[in-house]
Amino acid sequence: MTTVDGVRLDAEPRPGQCLRTFLREHGHHAVKKGCDAGDCGACTVLVDGGPVHSCLYPAVRATGAVVTTAAGLPEGPADPRPRFAAAAGFQCGFCTPGMVTTAAIASDPLADPAQRARVLQGNLCRCTGYRAIADALDGRRTVEPDGGIGASVPAPATDRVVRGLEPYTLDGDAPPGTAHLVVVRSPHAHARVTRIDTAAALAVPGVLAVLTHVNTPATLYSTARHENRLDDPDDTRVLDDVVRFHGQRVAAVVGTDLAAAEAGARAVVVDYEPLPPVLDPETARDAPPVHGDKPASSRIADPARNVVAALHQGVGDVAAGIAEARRDGGAVVTGTWHTGRVSPASLETHGSRAWVDAGGRLVVRTSSQVPFLVRDELARLLDRPPASVRVHTARVGGGFGSKQELLTEDLTALAALGTGRPVQWELTRTESLTATPTRHPMRVSVTVAARPDGALTALAIDVLSDAGAYGNHSPGVMFHGCHESMALYRCPNKRVDAEAVYTTTPPSGAFRGYGLGQVQFAIEGALDELARELGLDPFELRRRTVVRPGEDFVASADPAEHPDDLAFGSDGLPQCLEDARAALDRDGDPAPTGPTWRVGEGMAAAMIATIPPRGHRARASVALDGGRYRVRVGTAEFGNGTATVHAQIAAAALGARVDQVERHGGDTDAVGQDTGAFGSTGTVVAGSAVARAAEALAAELRGKAAARLGIAPGDCVLGPDGVRAPDGRTVALTDLSGARAEGAHGGSPRSVAFNVHAVRVAVDTATGEVRILRSVHVADAGVVVNPQQCRGQVEGGVAQGLGTALYEEVRLDDAGRVTTRVLRDYHLPQFGDVPRTEVLFADTVDALGPFGAKSMSESPYNPVAPAVANAIRDAVGVRPRRLPMTRDRVWALCREAAR
């Protein structure tokens, strides 16, 4: 008998069961699964008062023990939960129950910075960058109870999140009879499936069905989801008879429980005929075609050459620009940079549950940023009308772009329809690290030329993007990556030569920054080198060369021939540069002493469009129900803070208190249309739709009240309790209940947001260790709707940028198999790895965004790695050109410098 949160649990655990699943099986869903391997801490519980990773703890050993989860921590002064609430110490919140149970230990070790890093080593947060968590531990209050635009009100779900009571995708009771799905994966990087024998698997007790390429639709689609489904090549099958990367899905086994499904998966016999692997993107264009079998309707640029997408375009004359720089005594810089394969690694892995409801409709509950787009493509794959499919999310445990994909829903839906039972599939962390999309690795060559005063005369890039085995997001990432990175700089002669190529490696996909981080790593490095050659301060070089209001945004296309909808809704870039320069010189840790340490500074700038091109739609409705406003949106909350921002926007438009607003989102039943939560659109697109709906409702309420009061609507003031006339007469909100209005936004026109990151680093030339002594980030987000949340977005982006810069890489062996299969081997930044970053906001008001706001989700990531690289160059005299800049690589670089 175990006692859990004060309640007896009499059940007997299974012999090989860990405490995590034992607790969850019995309804204790405050215990999360982030890694299932003792690395992330999301499942931390107290056993007889001591914290353990419950995924590693044999459940049998907890017999007779007192177990405490985040939901059952004792209230009182030592309770860490109110402190996490007061400091907004979470974003998606999936790690939070494990954080608070860990923080529930005696506070002494948490007070000492060195010990704190050790205590929190086993608690990973992928969203916050840990500053807000440090504030929680320190007892700082950074949220305010109420307020409109510009107030740091807490996330509406705060109390439930810190108590572990907020349901995520697979929390809450599964529908009765839920079966489980396990996938058989390819042991080859490239092979033809010549035979699948499922007889033995079907004979395993509890196995309900085995899905293979034989009994699933052969329809070609893309796992990537966009507003326009034609944006991505249709090159993927649910289950294919050719496998194109090590770890690709080959079959899916459905069992009454996970043990049966796993046993069935082991019993599936697959014969493969190996095909030549294509592992090197540099030679891929001359290699055997990976998708040579695809029709023109798949929209692959050149399948015979393994080219998914290509862009060869320019303005002016780059050669003439180079000649001009040379003639005038300026400088010409050329170089090549490489970026790594990085995993989004949201703490909640991909997973979904599918079932058929009483009305015959297919319902899918999934961890997704794009429920509407998943519904539309599922309907297409299943050959059903979209109205016969409902897709919804709970709170999503992080995404960062990785959930702008259809990765699990197809199989759970097919399995549910095939077996007549609800079916659940939750990816393991190893599946997530080895078989879900990563950032596109890129090789970027840059040529940049300038006159002695820094005026650019030529800017050209040659980009090779590794799509991996499928083209999901590869065209979009390539085009986007080569756009704002180039358009940021004024230069009459520009050229982009870019190709994305297939290899038989795990597919690349969408990830925060969507290509810009890779290309900017190269361009910002080249500009840093240019500044050195010209003897200019790198901030000053940017100040002189960045695009200014009134000028066209030119990446590589002539604006006269290719007009677009991008505009300067506001311009905070000069302020970002100035404030970052000034802040870098302030403060910072002292440099380590010793003869092998060198100190250097570096910076980088970045621009991003506030909305993706080619359409991004949102609809919203606001209804008055009694004295409360119910906002319905399509977009999901995955830690980006839109649930808070939308409540603030609605409250501001309606003169209401934030706590009068309830938001329902992430559901295809909520509104008619929503492209989804990607491209940093939660505030500017969905938020604009909410603003328009709320403003329309406000007008309607004033109009109705005015009619009752017999005065003009313009004389009425809408407030938290009702509509007030100048003479003090009031129509109560409850008397207007039932009023409802809608709003929409089509994603155009689009503005631009800016970010500048600057660091001072110390490098130990003997070991390659890089220490960040000072880190500053200035963001131009327009009017900041919620400063704490926006700061958290910036800090989280910076932390991910530092992970990319210094630690993270999905590594493959010579056979194309991923070797970084668990989080012990794929190093996500820990509490102790992330320095404090001073975050400043430019003071601008955007003409296009809601209440003057701009996007600020992806872009903080982009300038971080190049700033660190430029600082390392400044410190050691040799330029790092490959990410991540791990200690072994920096050490090798220093040896190169010494020669």
Least CB distance from residue 614 to another protein, whole Å?
38
The residue written with tokens 């110390």 in the block is 762
Least CB distance from residue 281 to another protein, whole Å?
21
Segment interacting with another protein (CB under 8 A) among 51-59, 286-294, 347-355, 865-873: 51-59
Residue 892 sits in the site that holds another protein (CB under 8 A): yes
**Using the 8-state DSSP alphabet, how is residue 559 labeled?**
T
- Bridging pattern class, strands 269-274 and 242-243: unpaired
Cis amide prior to 884 (ω within 30 degrees):
yes
Residue 425 sits in the site that holds another protein (CB under 8 A): no
224 or 890: whose CB is closer to another protein? 890
- Cα distance between residue 702 and residue 704, in whole Å: 6
For another protein, the binding residue among 3, 219, 445, 767 (CB under 8 A) is: 767
Residue 258 sits in the site that holds another protein (CB under 8 A): yes
Nearest to 150 by CA among 795, 640, 843, 659: 843
Hey, which residues does 622 pair with through a beta bridge? 631, 741
Nearest to 577 by CA among 615, 605, 551, 555: 605
**Using the 8-state DSSP alphabet, how is residue 313 labeled?**
E
- Bridging pattern class, strands 389-392 and 423-426: unpaired
Residue ranges in 800-819 that form contacts with another protein under rule CB under 8 A: 806-807, 809, 811, 819
Residue 595 sits in the site that holds another protein (CB under 8 A): no
Region of 149 please: left (phi>0), alpha (psi -120 to 50) or beta.
beta
Residue 492 sits in the site that holds another protein (CB under 8 A): no
Residue ranges in 114-133 that form contacts with another protein under rule CB under 8 A: 117-119, 121-123
Residue 303 sits in the site that holds another protein (CB under 8 A): no
Instruction: Provide the 10 A C-beta neighbour count for residue 63.
Output: 12
Segment interacting with another protein (CB under 8 A) among 11-19, 297-305, 527-535, 675-683: 11-19
Residue 52 sits in the site that holds another protein (CB under 8 A): yes
Residue 36 sits in the site that holds another protein (CB under 8 A): yes
For another protein, the binding residue among 57, 130, 489, 629 (CB under 8 A) is: 57
DSSP for 791-807 reads: HHHHHHHHHHHHHHHHT
Cis amide prior to 277 (ω within 30 degrees):
no
Residue 17 sits in the site that holds another protein (CB under 8 A): yes
Residue ranges in 820-839 that form contacts with another protein under rule CB under 8 A: 820, 822, 824-827, 830, 832-833
Q: Angle, to 10 degrees, between the axis of helix 409-419 and the axis of helix 371-382? A: 50
For another protein, the binding residue among 2, 5, 32, 44 (CB under 8 A) is: 44
260 or 463: whose CB is closer to another protein? 260
Least CB distance from residue 791 to another protein, whole Å?
24
Residue 582 sits in the site that holds another protein (CB under 8 A): no
Residue 266 sits in the site that holds another protein (CB under 8 A): yes
What's the N-to-C CA distance of the chain in angstroms? 67
586: Cβ contacts below 8 Å, ≥ 6 apart: none
Residue 431 sits in the site that holds another protein (CB under 8 A): no
Give the x-and-dash track for 59-88 against another protein (CB under 8 A): -xx---------------------------
Residue 589 sits in the site that holds another protein (CB under 8 A): no
Residue 51 sits in the site that holds another protein (CB under 8 A): yes
Q: What's phi and psi for 780, nearest 5 deg?
A: -105, 90
State the burial class of residue 293 (Cβ atoms within 10 Å of its Cβ: 0-12, 13-18, 19+): exposed
- Cα distance between residue 493 and residue 482, in whole Å: 15
236 or 428: whose CB is closer to another protein? 428
Residue 320 sits in the site that holds another protein (CB under 8 A): no
SS3 assignment, position 447: strand
Torsional sign, CA 887, 893, 898, 899:
positive
55 or 526: whose CB is closer to another protein? 55
Least CB distance from residue 428 to another protein, whole Å?
8
Residue 432 sits in the site that holds another protein (CB under 8 A): no
For another protein, the binding residue among 62, 263, 307, 609 (CB under 8 A) is: 263
Residue 878 sits in the site that holds another protein (CB under 8 A): no
119 or 677: whose CB is closer to another protein? 119
Cis amide prior to 77 (ω within 30 degrees):
no
- Cα distance between residue 588 and residue 582, in whole Å: 12
Residue 633 near residue 674 (C-beta atoms within 8 A):
yes
- Cα distance between residue 207 and residue 226, in whole Å: 36
Least CB distance from residue 54 to another protein, whole Å?
10
Residue 228 near residue 614 (C-beta atoms within 8 A):
yes
State the burial class of residue 77 (Cβ atoms within 10 Å of its Cβ: 0-12, 13-18, 19+): exposed
Residue 704 sits in the site that holds another protein (CB under 8 A): no
Q: Measured over all CA atoms, what is the biggest interatomic distance in the chain, rounded to whole angstroms? A: 88
Residue 434 sits in the site that holds another protein (CB under 8 A): no
Segment interacting with another protein (CB under 8 A) among 54-62, 402-410, 551-559, 619-627: 54-62
Residue ranges in 325-354 that form contacts with another protein under rule CB under 8 A: none
Least CB distance from residue 262 to another protein, whole Å?
5
534: Cβ contacts below 8 Å, ≥ 6 apart: 330, 331, 450, 452, 454, 541
Q: Angle, to 10 degrees, between the axis of helix 538-545 and the axis of helix 573-585? A: 170
Least CB distance from residue 45 to another protein, whole Å?
10
Residues touching another protein: how many (CB under 8 A)? Answer: 59
Residue 41 sits in the site that holds another protein (CB under 8 A): yes
SS3 assignment, position 835: coil
Least CB distance from residue 883 to another protein, whole Å?
14
For another protein, the binding residue among 8, 15, 359, 550 (CB under 8 A) is: 15
Residue 891 sits in the site that holds another protein (CB under 8 A): yes
Residue 55 sits in the site that holds another protein (CB under 8 A): yes
Run of H or E including 538: helix 538-545
Least CB distance from residue 462 to another protein, whole Å?
28
22 or 221: whose CB is closer to another protein? 22
Least CB distance from residue 395 to another protein, whole Å?
24
Least CB distance from residue 17 to another protein, whole Å?
5
Annotate 491-505 with b (16+ C-beta within 10 A) or e (fewer): bbbbbbbbbbbbbbb
Q: What's phi and psi for 880, nearest 5 deg?
A: -70, 135
Q: Summarize as ranges the residues that interact with another protein (CB under 8 A).
A: 14-18, 20-21, 36-39, 41, 44, 50-53, 55-58, 60-61, 102, 117-119, 121-123, 258-259, 262-263, 266, 428, 766-768, 806-807, 809, 811, 819-820, 822, 824-827, 830, 832-833, 886-889, 891-892
